[in-house]
Structure 1
Amino acid sequence: MDSTELILMIAILSIWFSLTCGLVVLYLLLNGKSLEVNFRSAKCSESLPVTPSSSTAPDNTPVLVDESASAWGLFVMFDEPTMASNERLSVVLLSSGAVYESSTKSFTLAGDSPRNPIHIANAYPPASLPSFNQDNGQFPVKGVALKMIKKSRSATPNKLQLVRLVKLAKELARIGGKVVDADKQPVTPSGFQAVIDGKAKV
């Protein structure tokens, strides 16, 4: 091998070595930048405040006010009304102390506030309630309305009567039905508690 070939080989090896070193340096630089970017993005994501979810639970607060009747109240709708359910209805009403009003063919329960009694009427007027003293009526009662009359626009229901209202509604629902509010929406256990706490929509 003469000197010319030796010089040429050394030059080729130098070029190859330079390219290899350059590629290694370029790889390290690029890899280092990507690591830095990932680190910064991770750090930024940790520093960002967590935004709470804007979704809220549905409002289950019952509506007690019945503007058309100027009253507060609930309804008990029977699932399968029969003459037998009429008999059970009479037992619940009489045991609660409700008194039959022949003029309106409905019941009145004085409860804890005689000035603001609970009126129990047929939920489907002009249908009425039988007295249950001599007969249980000719037709099954499909539902009853439990109401307290509003004496003025600014009046609020008596809280003791609200407790009695909920208790009576639950007792009637055990006959075989469900309790709904003035908007005919089912009342949940939390809804009953809202009524007792005076947080229902009046």
Structure 2
Amino acid sequence: MNAHTLALTCAIGAGWLSFNTLVVAGYLLVYKRETLGLGERNSFWLTVAGKRDEKSAASPAILPRSQPSQKPIEERVPMDLPEQEEQFLEEPIGKPEEVPTHVFYVMFQQPSIELNQKVQLVLDKWDAYFDAELKIYVALGVTPQNPLRIANAYPPGLMPTEEVFQQEDHLLGGVSIILNKPKRKRGFDKVQLGKMVELSEELAALGGALLDEERQPASRKTFRDITGG
């Protein structure tokens, strides 16, 4: 065997010996760790870590407080708002109390332009003015807070304005004289009741029948019951 062959054989033998030494050393190291219990400790922490990952996967993600929950608009807005509004609209609304009144009716027998002119002269004498909102004439009398009101009796309601008072399309068939009933019949309130009777009689003298609130002929007793005299 020459020198070259001998050197190659020694190199191969040394490599094989080194490999076997590394295998034996690795086996001894693993066996030593198992003997000291290090293998069980590592398996314990691996098990704990695995369970922690399972809990993290099962629990829902927690949103930051600064981010609002992204719920659909239909879930956030109550769907029964129209029904609530309808129930609110169905609640009864209190009506204003009706004020009791005294009423006289003067029904004219022969409406004409001449009669309208006479009625207008009487209204001017009593300083009656046309109320554009109520469409009637108002005479203050002695109690402006409770004035006399002159309205159309037939058909009931609106009176013609001063501009059309003399037109044939607005002939008066009758007028109604209205006064709110005063709470007490004394002082100026009692005088105002007398003014109501006086105005009604003056209009009836133009050619009409004077009726009470029941549309029955008014009498002296009717006047006394109203004025308290």
Per the TM superposition, whether the score is higher than 0.5 is yes
The reply to whether residue 106 of structure 1 matches residue 136 of structure 2 is: yes
CA change 1:160–1:141 in 2 (3 A) is same
Which residue of the partner structure matches residue 173 of structure 1?
A: 204
Question: SS where residue 131 of structure 1 aligns?
Answer: coil
Question: SS where residue 159 of structure 2 aligns?
Answer: coil
In the alignment, residue 115 of structure 1 is paired with which amino acid?
A: Q
Question: SS where residue 191 of structure 1 aligns?
Answer: helix
**Offset from partner CA, 1:116-171 (integer Å, 9 cap, x none):** 111100013555211234542423111111112358xxx35621111100110011
Task: State the superposition RMSD in angstroms.
Answer: 2.5
In the alignment, residue 124 of structure 1 is paired with which amino acid?
A: Y
The reply to whether residue 119 of structure 1 matches residue 170 of structure 2 is: no
Alignment TM-score, normalising by the size of structure 2: 0.50
Which residue of the partner structure matches residue 215 of structure 2?
A: 184
Alignment TM-score, normalising by the size of structure 1: 0.56
Question: For the residues of structure 2 that align with 1:87 and 1:81, how far apart are their CA atoms?
Answer: 11
In the alignment, residue 199 of structure 2 is paired with which amino acid?
A: L
Match of 2:120 among 90, 105, 117: 90
Which residue of the partner structure matches residue 173 of structure 2?
A: 142
In the alignment, residue 213 of structure 2 is paired with which amino acid?
A: A
Structure in which a larger fraction of residues adopt helix? 2
Structure 1 segments unaligned to the other structure (5+ residues): 1-66
How far apart are 1:70 and its partner, in Å? 3.7
Report which stretch shifted further, 96-105 or 132-141: 132-141
The reply to whether residue 131 of structure 1 matches residue 131 of structure 2 is: no
Question: For the residues of structure 1 that align with 2:165 and 2:112, how far apart are their CA atoms?
Answer: 14
Bigger Rg, which one = 2
How far apart are 1:103 and its partner, in Å? 1.4
Question: For the residues of structure 2 that align with 1:113 and 1:165, how far apart are their CA atoms?
Answer: 12
Question: For the residues of structure 1 that align with 2:149 and 2:156, how far apart are their CA atoms?
Answer: 15
CA change 1:69–1:197 in 2 (3 A) is closer
The reply to whether residue 75 of structure 1 matches residue 94 of structure 2 is: no
CA change 1:100–1:71 in 2 (3 A) is same
CA change 1:175–1:68 in 2 (3 A) is farther
CA change 1:75–1:126 in 2 (3 A) is closer
Please list every run of at least 4 consecutive aligned residues from structure 1 whose deviation after the TM superposition is greater than 4 angstroms.
none
How far apart are 1:190 and its partner, in Å? 3.8
How far apart are 1:189 and its partner, in Å? 3.2
CA change 1:172–1:186 in 2 (3 A) is same
How far apart are 1:69 and its partner, in Å? 7.5
Question: For the residues of structure 2 that align with 1:78 and 1:189, how far apart are their CA atoms?
Answer: 20
Structure 2 segments unaligned to the other structure (5+ residues): 1-96
**Offset from partner CA, 1:72-125 (integer Å, 9 cap, x none):** 221111111112111111011111111111112110111011111111000135
